[in-house]
Amino acid sequence: MSSKERRTVPAEAIELYNEYIHGEISRRTFLNRAKQFAVAGLTASALVEALMPDYAMGQQIAHNDERIRASYVTLPSPQGHGFIKGYLVRPFSADSRSAEPSKLPGIIVVHENRGLNPHTEDVARRLAMANFMAFAPDVLTSVGGYPGDDFKGGQLFNGLDANKRFEDIVASALWLKGRADCTGKIGVTGFCYGGGVSNQLAVRLGADLAAAVPFYGSTPPVADVAKIKAAILVQHGALDTRTIEAWPAFDAALTAAGVKHEGHIYPNAVHGFFNDATPERYNEAAATEAWTRMVGWFNTHVRG
C-alpha cells in the first residue's frame, strides 16, 4: 500500500478520527483519546499515522498527466467572499483536434471541510478522464487557500461565514455553466461537506443544475426539496449512521416532489469510504461501484 502499511484499526478509532476531522474535538483530545486503542495492538502514534491521509498514495492521475489540461482559475464571487479560486481540468483530447475547444458537460467537485486538498483535485482529474470538464473550487480562497494540512484547513474552514462559503460555490457553478467551452449542462458531486453542498446547490439552482451526486452529505430541509429539478444520486456507507439516518425522509420527500433519484448504501463502508488517501476508511469495492454509478449518472443526466 505504498508508503503507508495498511493496518486493522478498530471502528471506534475511525469514528474518533471522523469527530476530529469534523472539528467536533480538538487535536489534543484526538491524540489523548487515541491512546486507549493501544490495547488493540497499536500505539497511539501508530494509530494516528494509520488514520491520517496519504495523498501521494491515493493519487490515481498525476497533476502533469499528458491526457489532461489543468489550471488554477480565479473568478468573481460578489455574494460570497469577493472571489474564489479553483482547479479546472479538461481532457486534452477535447482541445487538440480543432482550433475551437470542444464543448463538454461540466461537473463541480466540492471538497470536504478542509479545503481543496490533493484528493479532491485528483477526483477532478478522474472526471476529466471520463470526458467531462471539472471545476473544484476552494472555499478557503479568501484565507489563503488549502494550507497543505487538513487540521489547519479545518480550522480555517470553521472560521468562515457558512453563507458566504456557499455563495462561492454558487458563483463557481454558474461560472462553469456559462463558459464557452461548456455545453451549458452541469452537475455537482461532493464529499461530506461537499455532499451537503451538492444537495443545497440542487435546491438553489433548480433547473440550472442537471444532476447531483452527494457522497455522505447532509440533506436539505424537507420543505425545500420541491425546488430540486436535478436528478439526485445519493451515496452512503452503511456504517455511517449519522448520515444514513436522514436518508428515508429525504427519499420520501424526493419521491413526493417527483424528483428523479436513487439512493445506494454500501455495506461495510464508513464515512469517507470513497477517499483512497485515507486507507483505513477507504472501501475499494464500495468506492469502485460508487464511481461507476456516478459516471453513469452524469453521462445520462448531464451529457445526455
Give the number of other CB atoms < 10 A from CB of residue 3. 7
Sequence-separated (6 or more) residues with CB below 8 Å from residue 10: 37, 40
CB proximity list for 134: less than 8 A, separation 6 or greater: 88, 89, 90, 106, 107, 108, 109, 123, 124, 125, 127, 128
Which tens digit of pLDDT belongs to each residue from 77-106?
A: 999 999 999 999 999 999 876 667 899 999
Quote the CA–CA distance of 143 and 78 in Å, as a whole number.
16
Cβ pair 265, 241 in contact under 8 A? no
Which secondary-structure segment (H or E) carries 175? helix 162-178
Q: Are residues 87 and 219 in the same domain?
A: yes
Q: The sheet that has 211-215: what strands, in order across it?
A: 68-77, 82-91, 133-138, 104-110, 182-191, 211-215, 231-237, 261-266
pLDDT for residue 21: 76
Tell me: do 41 and 91 sit in the same domain.
Answer: no
Q: 225 in a domain, yes or no?
A: yes
Cell numbers 468573481 label which residue? 76
Domain identity same for 70 and 46: no
Specify if 161 maps to a domain. yes
Task: Say what the pLDDT of residue 62 is.
Answer: 95
Query: From the CA atom positions of the chain, what is the Rg in Å?
Result: 19
The predicted structure's pLDDT at residue 38: 64
Pairing of strands 231-237, 261-266: parallel
Nearest of 199, 194, 284 to residue 237 by alpha carbon: 284
Asked if residue 105 is part of any domain, the answer here is: yes
Q: Note whether residue 91 is domain-resident.
A: yes
Q: What's phi and psi for 85, nearest 5 deg?
A: -105, 145
pLDDT of residue 28: 84
Same domain, 44 and 188: no
Region 113-117 average pLDDT: 95
Tell me: do 46 and 192 sit in the same domain: no
CATH number at residue 108: 3.40.50.1820
Residue 236 placed within a domain: yes
Q: Looking at the 3D structure of the chain, how many domains does it have?
A: 2
Contact 30, 20 (CB under 8 A): yes
Q: Are residues 169 and 110 in contact, defined by beta-carbon separation less than 8 angstroms?
A: yes
**Does residue 5 sit within a domain?**
no
Q: How many whole angstroms separate alpha carbon 25 and alpha carbon 33? A: 10
Q: Classify residue 139: in a domain, yes or no.
A: yes
Domain shared by 34 and 135, yes or no = no
Residue 2's pLDDT band (cuts 50, 70, 90): very low
Judge if 46 and 115 occupy the same domain. no
Q: Are residues 240 and 150 in the same domain?
A: yes
Percent of the chain with pLDDT over 90: 74
0.85 surpassed by pTM: yes
* 177 and 248 part of one domain: yes
For position 98, what pLDDT does the model report? Answer: 64
Cβ-based neighbour number of residue 187 at 10 Å: 30
Looking at the structure, do residues 251 and 229 belong to the same domain, yes or no? yes
Same domain? 222 vs 296: yes
Q: What residue numbers bound the domain in which 44 lies?
A: 11-51
What pLDDT, in 10s, does the model give residues 50-86? 777 899 988 999 999 999 999 999 999 999 999 999 9
Distance CA 109, CA 43 (A): 36
CA angle 76/106/132 to nearest 5° reads: 135
User: For 20-38, what is each residue's pLDDT tens digit?
Assistant: 877 788 878 888 887 777 6
C-alpha cell at 247: 436518508
Same domain, 97 and 26: no
